[in-house]
Each structure stands twice: as C-alpha cells, then as structure tokens.
C-alpha cells in the first residue's frame, strides 16, 4: 500500500490482481448481478486509488472486503422497495476493530473455518452478512424460531473466532 500511496500504477495493478476476486465475489454474492458486481469492483478499486489513506493499516483483505460489503449494501438499500427493517443499521467500517489476533488471518483459513462450522450456524451467519437481512428475516426464511437463530449466530461467531485464533497461534 505504501507504493500505491506513492502513486505507483504497477503496485496498484498487483493489488488488483491479489484482491479483485474477493471484491467481485462479495459483490456477486450479495447482488447476484455480474454487471453490477463488475461496476462495484471497479468503484471500490478506484476509491482505493483515489484515497489510499482511507486504509489505516491492519488486514487489507478484511478492510477492502468491508468496503465492498458496505458498497453492496448501499446498492441493496437503493434497490429495496421495502426499506422497513430489511437492511441492518450497523454499517460502520469499524477501522478500530481489526484486532491483533485476527489481523494476519488469510482468506483461505477463514474459508476453511467457515466451512467447518455446522450448517445450522454457518447459514444464518452468511445470510445476515451477505444478504443484509435482519435476524427476524433469517428466522422467517429458514423457518427457525428467532431465539434459536440468535443462539446459532452467537455460537457460530464464537466458534469461528476460536478456530481462527487457534490457526493464528
């Protein structure tokens, strides 16, 4: 990123090569529209180029993923004909929440840890994260009691964190 801040196009190209699949993957998964996913990917990378100082250190992959997700949520919000309680309010980028333990985790390990979660825990987490829907909507879609959805989300996130902490150790 230091070279990108120095306006080095070759460094930026390397950054694109390394992370565009992640950004596009998030956009495509959330928007289910290849054209919109391409537009979003371009917008995210051009934002990074225009304002590299927005990245304040930590895990670049996690950071750019949050940028991509928030942008995709903006698109979902704009698309939504039913704004009432459909999209969660907490869309902050939380730069300060990159904690030291998880900041070095690579995408491959995260995917492995996610895959290892029981389906009943992984599904509500992925629905909440990628579909931008509330726990009530998750309960409705999966036909699961609300309290059970909340319990599974918490158990899944705790298990994910423990697995990642173990793999980082």
Closest to another protein by CB, 144 or 151: 151
Q: How many residues does the chain have?
A: 169
Helix (H, G, I), strand (E, B) or coil at 7: coil
DSSP for 8-33 reads: -HHHHHHHHHHHHHHHHHHHHHHH--
Please report how close the Cβ of residue 2 comes to another protein at its closest, in angstroms. 10
Closest to another protein by CB, 34 or 118: 34
Quickly count: other Cβ atoms within 10 Å of residue 129's Cβ. 15
Please report how close the Cβ of residue 119 comes to another protein at its closest, in angstroms. 14
Please report how close the Cβ of residue 120 comes to another protein at its closest, in angstroms. 15
Angle at 76 between CA 128 and CA 131, to 5 degrees: 20
Please report how close the Cβ of residue 131 comes to another protein at its closest, in angstroms. 9
CA nearest to 26, candidates 66, 82, 84, 81: 66
């Amino acid at each position: 990123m230091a070279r990108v801040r120095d306006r080095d196009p070759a460094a930026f190209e390397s950054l694109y090569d390394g992370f565009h699949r992640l950004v596009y993957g998030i956009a495509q998964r959330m928007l289910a529209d290849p054209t919109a996913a391409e537009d979003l990917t371009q917008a995210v990378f051009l934002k990074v180029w225009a304002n590299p100082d927005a990245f304040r250190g930590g895990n670049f992959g996690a950071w750019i993923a949050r940028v991509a997700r928030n942008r995709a949520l903006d698109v979902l919000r704009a698309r939504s004909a039913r704004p009432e309680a459909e999209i969660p309010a907490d869309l902050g980028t939380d730069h300060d929440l990159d904690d030291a333990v998880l900041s070095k985790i690579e995408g491959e390990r995260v995917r492995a840890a996610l895959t290892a979660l029981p389906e009943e825990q992984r599904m509500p987490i992925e629905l909440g994260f990628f579909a931008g829907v509330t726990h009530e909507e998750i309960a409705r879609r999966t036909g699961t009691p609300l309290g059970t959805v909340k319990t599974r989300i918490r158990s899944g996130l705790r298990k994910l964190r423990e697995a990642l902490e173990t793999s980082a150790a």
